[in-house]
Amino acid sequence: MSFRLVIKQLAETDISEAAKWYSRIDRRVARNFIDSVDKTLSGIKTIPYAFPIVDGTYRRAITRKFPFAIYFTVEEDEVVVFGIFHCSRHPEKWKNRFADDW
Per-residue pLDDT of the chain (102 residues; tens, 9 = 90+): 689 999 999 999 999 999 999 999 999 999 999 999 999 999 999 999 999 999 888 999 999 999 999 999 999 899 999 999 998 876 666 666 665 544
Each domain of the chain, given as residue ranges in start order, spans: 4-101
* 81 alpha-carbon distance from chain centroid: 6
| C-beta neighbour count of 7 within 10 angstroms | 19
pTM: 0.88
Classify domain 4-101 at the CATH topology level.
YaeB-like fold (3.30.2310)
**55 and 46 in contact (C-beta within 8 Å)?**
no
